Structure 1
Amino acid sequence: MQRTAFVRTMMLSAALLAAAPASAEVRIIQSPGGQVGPFLDLFEKVRESGERVVIDGPCLSACTLVLSIVPVERICVTRRAVLGFHAARSVDRRGHFYAEPEASEAVLQAYPGRVRDWISRHGGLSSQLLLLKGRELAAIYPRCR
C-alpha cells in the first residue's frame, strides 16, 4: 500500500470513528471505505475493547467489515445508517480496477448469515453498490436506544 493512501485511510478511520469512553461506544458517522487492512486492524481493536458500535450514517465498502468482526449483539443502527456492499477489487499503479472473485467470496462468507442472505437476494456482490438501509436494515440489526 502506498504510504499516502495508508495515512489517508488511517486519518479517515480516526475521523469516522468517535469513541466515547463514558458510554463505551464507537460511532460510525460516515465512512466511504478504503483499503481493507486498516479497517480490519481498527475493527479488531474495537472488538477487543468490548465497546458497542453505533452505525449512524453511511458505512460503505471496507467499513462493512465491522459486521464480520464485531459481534452482532454489540452493533446497533440509527435511522441514518446505510450499509454499502460491493465486490472486492484491486487497483494497479495506473488506476485500473481488477475484480477479486476469491476475496469477494471470502468477504461474503464472513458476513453474518442474515446479511449474506440479503446480499444474495439483491443479486450478490458485484461492481454495483448495494445499499442496505431503513426497514430492511432494522430487520437485521436493532435500532440504537
Structure 2
Amino acid sequence: MKLVTGILAAVLLLAGVGASHAVMRISDDRGGRIGTYVDRFQGLRSSGETVVIDGLCASACTIVLGAVPRDKICVTPRAALGFHAAWDPGAGGRPVTNPEATRMLYEMYPTSIRRWISRRGGLKPRMIFLRGRELANMYRPCYLDAQASAHPTVHR
C-alpha cells in the first residue's frame, strides 16, 4: 500500500509541478539579516523554483513574499508568517528599531500583505503572525505529502 501511495503522490506532483521544477521548502526559518535574504531570494526568483512554506517563516524570511512570484509560492496548513519591524543591535545588544530598514522591508511585500500588516497597526517591535485561513486565502495551497515523496526536501 505504501508503494502505491508513493507512486500516486509522484504522479500528482508531476501533474501539478512538473519534473523539471525544483522545490525549496521553508519549515523553520526565524530570519536574520535582511541583505542575506534579499540575495538568497533574488537568486531563487530567477531559478523558477517553487517555494513551499511548511512551517515558520519569520522576520527576514518573509522577504520571499516580495522576491518570488506569487504563483511560485504555496503554503501548507502548517505555514506561519511572522512580521515585525527591522532592528539593529543597540547598547548592550538590545534591539533598536530601524525606521528606514522597516520602511524598506514593508515596501518589499506584495500589496495584500502590506494591507494585512497595516490593518494590524504596521510593523512594530512585536511579532504578528499570518497563518491559517487568512494565509490560505492569500496563497495557493500546496500538497507537501506529494511533493516530499517525489523530491528530496531542500532547506537553504
TM-score (norm 2): 0.75
SS in 1 for 2:140: coil
After TM superposition, the structure 1 stretch with the greater mean CA deviation from structure 2, 22-31 or 133-142, is: 22-31
> Residues of 2 paired with 1:120 and 1:59: CA distance?
19
Identity across the alignment (%)? 48
CA deviations on 1:22-64 (whole Å, 9 max, x unpaired) are: 6511110110111112211111111111101000000000100
- Aligned-residue offset at 1:131: 0.2
Ranges of 4+ aligned residues in structure 1 off by more than 3 Å:
none
The alignment of Structure 1 onto Structure 2 pairs a total of residues equal to 125
The change in CA–CA distance for 1:142 and 1:100 in structure 2 (over 3 A counts) is same
Q: What residue number does 2:97 align with?
A: 99
Tell me how far apart the structure 1 counterparts of residues 109 and 21 of structure 2 sit (CA, whole Å): 26
Aligned-partner Cα distance in 2 for 1:114–1:43? 19
Instruction: Work out the CA distance in 1 between the residues paired with 2:32 and 2:107.
Output: 20
Q: Distance in 2 between matches of 1:133 and 1:29?
A: 13
Q: Comparing both chains, which one has the higher relative contact order based on Cα–Cα distances under 8 Å and sequence gaps of 6 or more?
A: 2
Q: 1:132: which partner in 2?
A: 130
> Normalising to structure 1: TM-score of the pair?
0.81
* Residue from 34, 43, 46 that aligns with 1:45: 43
- CA separation in 1, counterparts of 2:99 and 2:53? 27
Tell me, in whole angstroms, the C-alpha distance in 2 between the residues paired with 1:113 and 1:134.
Answer: 19
RMSD: 1.5
Instruction: Please tell me the residue identity of whatever aligns with 2:75.
Output: V
Moved more, 134-143 or 23-32: 23-32
Gaps of 5+ in 2: 1-18, 144-156
**Higher helix proportion (structure 1 or 2):** 2
Q: Which of residues 54, 59, 63 is equivalent to 1:56?
A: 54
Written as runs of structure 1 = structure 2, the 5 A alignment for 1:1-145 is: 23-92=21-90, 94-145=92-143
Residue segments in structure 1 that go unaligned for 5+ positions in a row: 1-20
Q: Which has the larger radius of gyration?
A: 2
Which whole-Å deviations, capped at 9, do the CAs of 1:83-109 have from their partners, x for residues lacking one?
Answer: 000001111473122111121112111
